[in-house]
Amino acid sequence: MGTNFRIIRDKSAGGLMFILLILSIALLIAMGIGLYWKAAPVFEGRALKELLFSANWKPLKGEFGFLPFVMGTLWVTGIAVLLALPVSLLAATFLTEYAKPFVKKYVFPALDILAALPSVVYGVWGTLIIVPWISEKLAPLFVEHSTGYSALAGGIVLGVMILPLLVSLFIELFSAVPNDLREASLGLGATKWQTTQKVVLKKTIPGMIAAVVLAISRAFGETIAVLMVCGNLAQVPHSLFDPVYPIPALIANNYGEMLSLPLYEAALMFAALILFVVVLLFNVASRMVLYRIEKKAS
Amino acid sequence: MSTKSSFNSLYNRYSHWRESAAVRRGKMFRPDYKFIRKSDESELVVEDLNVYIKNNHILKNINLTIPDKKITCVIGPSGCGKSTLLKTFNRLIDSVEGVKLDGKVLIDGEDIIHSGTEITELRRKMGLISQRPCPLPMSIFENVAYGCRIHGIRMRRKLNMIVQHYLKAAGLWDEVKDRLRTPATRLSIGQQQRLCLARSLAVEPQFILADEATSALDPISSKIIEDLFVKLKENYSIIMVTHTLHQALRIADYVVFMYLGEVIEAGDAQSVFNNPQHELTKKYLSGAFS
């Protein structure tokens, strides 16, 4: 009797987990469909190409060109990754390969705190420190005038935000490299730097790609901190010091406010759909790249 | 044909010039590859070596002379410090946390324990074969060429020659010559160990340090490695840590028996195996503990 019960429980546990899994996947699909359904009115009479690549954003006249927002998101994310990637790579290399144990003991918790700070705090920091610094010190060297609320400010704040994420992902990757590999390289007379470069970094390239994709996906969606320092002007940026208007900021700023305008809600839903699709495609593409690299390597 | 050969000779002269220039500039420390070291006697003498790791006394007053061009087997029960001794010889022990070395290890009369030792050059001299074969994440060719590259050899032709030569020396050439560009991890585990041997030989060491090099292998593969060692002792001094007494019986010329961080007995294989002087050695050889 007892045995039977055990087996029933085992089977039902498996079934339950499977149902929950299906549910969470179904949720993803439902979100996609829902977004599309809500965004559908904006497609009427407008080509997808026009929506994505036109810079005319005049909701009052019913013109919805998303290029400024797409470009804004790309600029901010691009700057953030460009700034954070080298720093995090070197920091993680230092911490795993070079640092003494007591350094690790104090730095790891500090990184966790950095990662756990609410994004509003980063936004305030950006507004108080980065924006004035750009407008007073940095921008005058390059352009005539900048308020400081710019793509660069957004990139820096976002870069600092994804930094702890990247560092901790990289640390995990590098620590997973077996010590035997390092010893094999060192035993041939390689220096520590040669070993790091040619063995540790090389071994972890697939993982690093995955980590960067994860960081980019996060950067795409980051809203509050970016919204606070970006300037939020619907124009295609031409320099680092121009204000930009990333997609998440657009949605957060306007949803619930200007819904009396015809089609405005649908347009915002379309913006959300863009984010959804981009993140999805990005993840799928990175999986494919990873799969090919791993297949080649083993 | 004649243009081609004259081109080749010109190219050789160019490469020779380039590398000797590199040596003059101090970028490369060895003028040429001899392929197999025959000449100089190599000598390894250990004097009063003590190793501490975080206040644990791991090796106690080791005094040893490792004979040249022989297979020296270090035997003893687990945890007696065999691997630590081996790692001291190429200073890989430095990466262990809280380690303290004391005493002298003289290689060709030069003490390698003091802090001024050129570690990379020392490790080149002491080829290491680890217990588990550990191919680097690159192709078969690149694995063997890796050591040469990090020591400054860039000439493609030379690398080709070196890789071919040492893969042959490790008895692997015929099995892999058609797939040098495939990842080394696709080889079988026995092949991987021979690849590691080729990789170590390719930087022209004087000594081969083998840390239970056959314990992860199947009997056939370990037989191949053993035979290779016997062949290689013409040119290299081989120091081998082994767990299997039978292996030591088969191939050792010289035996060091260690127990709890001390060298209990060391001498010719014949005399140690047939006529052990120390009570502990007798017990170990008779299988009273292992």
Q: What is the pLDDT of residues A14-53, one digit of tens each?
A: 899 999 999 999 999 999 999 999 888 888 878 888 888 8
Torsion of CA A11, A15, A16, A21, to 10 degrees: 140
Q: Which of A19-28, A257-266, B87-96, B248-257 shows the lowest mean pLDDT across its residues? A: A257-266
Starting at the edge strand found earlier in the chain, the sheet holding B56-66 runs B56-66, B44-53, B99-107, B110-111
Rounded average pLDDT over A184-196: 91
A183 & A39 share domain: no
Residue A227 in tokens: 């919204």
Residue B271 in tokens: 């005399």
Residue B45 in tokens: 């003498």
Does residue B125 register a pLDDT over 90? no
A146 & A10 share domain: no
Residues B53-95 pLDDT 10s: 988 999 999 999 998 889 999 998 888 888 899 999 989 888 8
Backbone phi and psi for residue A79, each to the nearest 5 degrees, phi listed first? -60, -45
Report the chain A residue with the minimal C-alpha distance to residue B135: A181
Residue B102 in tokens: 């004391």
- For residue B19, the model assigns a pLDDT of 59
Work out the number of other CB atoms within 10 angstroms of the CB of residue A86.
10
Domain containing residue A65: 52-297
Does residue B286 register a pLDDT over 60? yes
Q: Mapping DSSP to helix (H, G, I), strand (E, B) and coil, where does residue B248 land?
A: helix
Residue A177 in tokens: 């490299």
Could you tell me what percentage of chain A is helix, strand and coil, using 3-state DSSP and rounding each to the nearest 5?
A: 80, 0, 20
Backbone phi and psi for residue B188, each to the nearest 5 degrees, phi listed first? -70, 165
Q: Mapping DSSP to helix (H, G, I), strand (E, B) and coil, where does residue B107 land?
A: strand
A125 & A232 share domain: yes
The one-character DSSP state at A199 is: I
Could you tell me the pLDDT band of residue B31, with boundaries at 50, 70 and 90? very low
Rounded average pLDDT over A223-246: 87
Residue A129 touches partner B, C-beta closer than 8 Å: no
- For residue B233, the model assigns a pLDDT of 87
Residues in chain B within 8 Å Cβ distance of A184: 128, 130, 134, 136, 196, 199
- For residue B18, the model assigns a pLDDT of 62
- For residue B28, the model assigns a pLDDT of 44
Q: Name the pTM for this structure.
A: 0.81
Rounded average pLDDT over A263-268: 86
Backbone phi and psi for residue B91, each to the nearest 5 degrees, phi listed first? 60, 20
Rounded average pLDDT over B105-127: 86
**What radius of gyration do chain A's Cα atoms show?**
24
Cα–Cα distance, A262 to B222 (Å, whole number): 79
- Better pLDDT: B209 or A288: B209
Q: Which of A48-57, A89-98, A241-250, B170-179 shows the lowest mean pLDDT across its residues? A: A48-57
Q: Which of A96, A105, A173, A188 to mutate to test the interface with B (most CBs of B within 10 A)?
A: A188
Q: Which residue has the tokens 């010091």?
A: A241
Cα B247 → chain centroid: 18
A27 & A137 share domain: no
Element at B127 (helix H, strand E): strand B126-129
Measure in Å the smallest separation between the Cα of A296 and chain B Cα atoms.
Answer: 8
A83 & A17 share domain: no
A235 & A138 share domain: yes
Torsion of CA A251, A252, A256, A257, to 10 degrees: -90
Does residue B8 register a pLDDT over 90? no
Domain total in chain A: 2
Does residue B255 register a pLDDT over 50? yes
- For residue B2, the model assigns a pLDDT of 52
Q: Return mean pLDDT, chain B.
A: 84
Q: Assign residue A101 a region: left if phi > 0, alpha if psi is -120 to 50, beta otherwise? A: alpha
Residue B143 touches partner A, C-beta closer than 8 Å: no
A180 & A62 share domain: yes
Q: Could you tell me the CATH number of the domain that includes residue A113?
A: 1.10.3720.10
A90 & A207 share domain: yes
Cα–Cα distance, A126 to A128 (Å, whole number): 6
Residue A86 touches partner B, C-beta closer than 8 Å: no
Residue B130 in tokens: 């680890």
Backbone phi and psi for residue A246, each to the nearest 5 degrees, phi listed first? -65, 155
Cα–Cα distance, A66 to B70 (Å, whole number): 77
Q: Which of A33-37, A226-230, A262-266 shows the lowest mean pLDDT across its residues? A: A262-266
A40 & A141 share domain: no
Q: Which amino acid is at B40?
A: D
Q: Mapping DSSP to helix (H, G, I), strand (E, B) and coil, where does residue B258 land?
A: strand
Contacts across the A-B interface (CB distance below 8 Å): 74
**What radius of gyration do chain B's Cα atoms show?**
20
DSSP calls for B201-238: HTT--SEEEEESTTTTS-HHHHHHHHHHHHHHTTTSEE
- For residue A23, the model assigns a pLDDT of 94
Backbone phi and psi for residue B209, each to the nearest 5 degrees, phi listed first? -100, 115
A281 & A149 share domain: yes
Rounded average pLDDT over B256-281: 90
Q: Which of B226, B159, B234, B160 is nearest to B197 (CA)?
A: B226
Contact A298 B183 (CB under 8 A): yes
Residues A67-116 pLDDT 10s: 999 999 999 999 999 999 999 999 999 999 998 888 988 988 888 888 88
Beta strand pairing status for B56-66 and B254-259?
unpaired
Torsion of CA B87, B91, B94, B96, to 10 degrees: -10
Does residue B288 register a pLDDT over 70? yes
N-terminal to C-terminal alpha carbon distance within chain B: 65
Q: Closest CB to A189: pick one of B95, B136, B151.
A: B151
Does residue A196 register a pLDDT over 80? yes
Could you tell me the pLDDT band of residue B26, with boundaries at 50, 70 and 90? very low
Count of CA atoms in the C-beta half-sphere (13 A) of A119: 17
Rounded average pLDDT over B194-212: 91
User: B81, B58 in Cβ contact below 8 A?
Assistant: yes
Rounded average pLDDT over A220-247: 87
Q: Mapping DSSP to helix (H, G, I), strand (E, B) and coil, where does residue A94 land?
A: helix
A20 & A110 share domain: no
Could you tell me what percentage of chain B is helix, strand and coil, using 3-state DSSP and rounding each to the nearest 5?
A: 40, 25, 35
A133 & A252 share domain: yes
Residue B83 touches partner A, C-beta closer than 8 Å: no
